[in-house]
Amino acid sequence: MSLILPVKGISPEFGNNCYIAPNATIAGDVVMGDDCSVWFNAVIRGDVNLIRMGNKVNVQDGAIIHCTYEKAATHIGNNVSIGHNAIVHGCVIEDNVLVGMGAIVMDNCRVGSNSIIAAGAVVLENTQIEPGSIYAGVPAKKIKDIPANMISGEINRIADNYVMYSGWFKASAADDHGKEKE
């Protein structure tokens, strides 16, 4: 069962149609919108500052979302994918963003909408990523403007797929509960 914990009397809040994997951990001042999913071994810790997530955000396996005490909250927009084992820490991720597998986005960064942070990239503190960009490398640098077809072909496709995947798991859980009642 998922570990959902209050911190200092504040409990996480979830929108409609969200899926939380059985071993995901969500603690404290976390508010997520509709159609979100938090996958296996992902951790979202709103213990030292707040975390706000829009609609259709997926936090993939092993990803960590956290913040910095009294300094940097985390805000994630709509239609955002946080890839496997990524770290998103005390920053702003605007709408329609893909944070690739193993990427790190540090405190006080702002990732503009319609952008991709490549797998393994490290976005250093205070970096401002302009909308419509692809950043890669260590430290992350702009490699090009994002082609329009990648917004629908990658960013939207992945976010939509994770809504579909979460439906599979919710349906499977409902089937299992039905079998128990027989």
Instruction: For residue range 145-164, list pLDDT tens digits in order.
Output: 999 888 888 999 999 999 99
- How far is the C-alpha of 177 from the C-alpha of 138, rounded, in Å? 46
Q: What is the pLDDT of residue 171?
A: 85
Domain count, the chain: 1
Q: What global pTM score does this model have?
A: 0.94
Which structure tokens are listed for 141? 């640098």
Which structure tokens are listed for 12? 């996480």
- β-pairing verdict for 43-53 and 74-76: parallel
- The whole domain housing 129 covers 3-181
- Over range 109-134, report the average pLDDT: 98
- How far is the C-alpha of 62 from the C-alpha of 30, rounded, in Å? 18
Q: What is the CATH number of the domain that holds 66?
A: 2.160.10.10
